[in-house]
Amino acid sequence: MITFVDTVVPITAQSTQPDLALPVGTTLDRFILSEQSAFPFATGELSQLLRDIALASKIINREINRAGLIDVTGATGTDNVQGESQQKLDVIANIRFIRALKNGGEVCAIISEEEDDIILTGNPNGKYVVAIDPLDGSSNIDVNVSIGTIFSIYRRVSPVGSVPTLADLLQGGRQQVAAGYVLYGSSTILVFTTGQGVNGFTLDQSLGEYILSHTDIKQPRTGSIFSCNEGNVAEYPDKIQTYLNTCRQRRMTGRYIGSLVADFHRNLIKGGIYLYPSTRKSPGGKLRLLYECFPMAFIAEQAGGKATDGRQAILDITPTDLHQRLVLYVGSPDLIDELLTTI
Ligand code: FBP
């Protein structure tokens, strides 16, 4: 006769040993559902869209974690529309997110860093459009340094059922209905806003669930970290060089990972300022407005931070091109104000 070892602790013992069944916390799904009532146009489509992005990010997370074991490191030998050499993981991430957004049915059009033109998803009744940087920090992929995904979501402006247009993608930053990023770092975290504050969800790899870990994130008003590529300093405008000198004189700490998502996240939590000024190579700035600057600016402002190109708030800019580049200064409000008084 086979006997089963009863590993279940008898009920009476459970009351005396509560940590045997600690609650796992609030899952992303449960959070989205509970917040759905606060969403404008809450018909569940935006909720499903956020779930689709979360699912694709879990698959990318798996590929990244196994990168050294499977053939996903290195370049593909092709360049993207930006003239940058495409890494294999750039292409894989691009395919995975586009597939998830197409299959979800909520999205009618996508603009991706890895694609020249608008991607029509074949969902003419989709109410949303998405701008996405499938894999941010490409230069760090092969060296096991934190990388990310950045996304921005809008309601379309063209009639539902019609063929999406350029106008659907070239909306102002304040038209975003949601924006977020996934940081594939020492842990994987999804941070997003729908205009009701900023929350972060850490991926519990054992459950495959995003669990609420950072509630109502507020960026510290100031901080002691400045983040820029010091290798380019000689090319920065004089006033930016002056500002960076004051940062050094104040013994602020220079921290630069070279992945916008990772540098932004650190400064969001600890306080700090990220700067990508104009350089000889990128006189208009390097970072892309639709799928890097707008989403990070929306999150920053929702967390009490600020984002500017030195002349105006990033979110007040009207885009003119799908892959438009921009100068970006983003971070703690007092540090941005100080920068603006200097430049
Ligand atoms: P992609 O990797 O998606 O092209 O993003 C641009 C980026 O890598 C940012 O993540 C990062 O902050 C910046 O460029 C680094 O640029 P540089 O190597 O010139 O400092």
Angstrom distances, CA of residue 46 to CA of 52, 119, 127, 159, 177: 10, 19, 9, 18, 9
Classify strands 128-136 and 107-112 as parallel, antiparallel or unpaired: parallel
Rounded Cα distance between 59 and 213, Å, is 20
Task: Tell me the two tokens of residue 301.
Answer: 């402002």
Determine the distance from the C-alpha atom of residue 193 to the mean position of all C-alpha atoms in its chain, rounded to a whole number.
Answer: 10
Query: Judging by beta carbons within 10 Å of its beta carbon (0-12, 13-18, 19+), is residue 102 exposed, middle or buried?
Result: middle
Q: Which domains does the chain have, with CATH numbers?
A: 28-214 (3.30.540.10), 225-342 (3.40.190.80)
Rounded Cα distance between 44 and 37, Å, is 9
pLDDT value of residue 19: 64
Residue nearest to atom 13 of ligand 1 (CA): 258
Task: Tell me the two tokens of residue 35.
Answer: 């917040």
Ligand 1 pocket test target in 260, 263, 327 with most atoms within 8 Å of CB: 260
Q: Is the CB of 309 under 6 A from ligand 1?
A: no
Angstrom distances, CA of residue 312 to CA of 30, 321, 327: 37, 18, 11
Task: Tell me the two tokens of residue 275.
Answer: 């700067």
Q: Is the CB of 260 under 6 A from ligand 1?
A: yes
Rounded Cα distance between 154 and 86, Å, is 27
8 Å CB contact between 224 and 271: yes
Atom nearest to 286 CA in ligand 1: 14
pLDDT value of residue 30: 92
Q: Is the CB of 114 under 6 A from ligand 1?
A: no
From the CA atom positions of the chain, what is the Rg in Å?
Answer: 21
Atom nearest to 261 CA in ligand 1: 10
Rounded Cα distance between 149 and 90, Å, is 10
Looking at the DSSP bridge assignments, the partners of residue 284 are none
Q: Is the CB of 278 under 6 A from ligand 1?
A: no
Rounded Cα distance between 17 and 229, Å, is 51
pLDDT value of residue 80: 75
Distance 287 CA to ligand 1 centre (A): 7
Task: Tell me the two tokens of residue 67.
Answer: 């990168």
Distance 192 CA to ligand 1 centre (A): 20
pLDDT value of residue 40: 58
Residue nearest to atom 8 of ligand 1 (CA): 137
What's phi and psi for 30, nearest 5 deg? -65, -40
Residue type, 90: D
Distance 236 CA to ligand 1 centre (A): 16
Is 292 annotated in a binding site? The answer is yes
For residue 78, count other CB atoms closer than 10 A to its CB: 10
The pTM is what? 0.93
Is 168 annotated in a binding site? The answer is no
Residue-wise pLDDT tens digits, 175-220: 999 999 999 999 999 999 999 999 999 999 999 999 999 999 999 9
For residue 34, count other CB atoms closer than 10 A to its CB: 10
Residues of the chain with pLDDT under 70: 1-19, 38-42, 81
pLDDT value of residue 2: 45
Rounded Cα distance between 334 and 343, Å, is 15
On the CB side of 234, CA atoms within 13 Å amount to 1
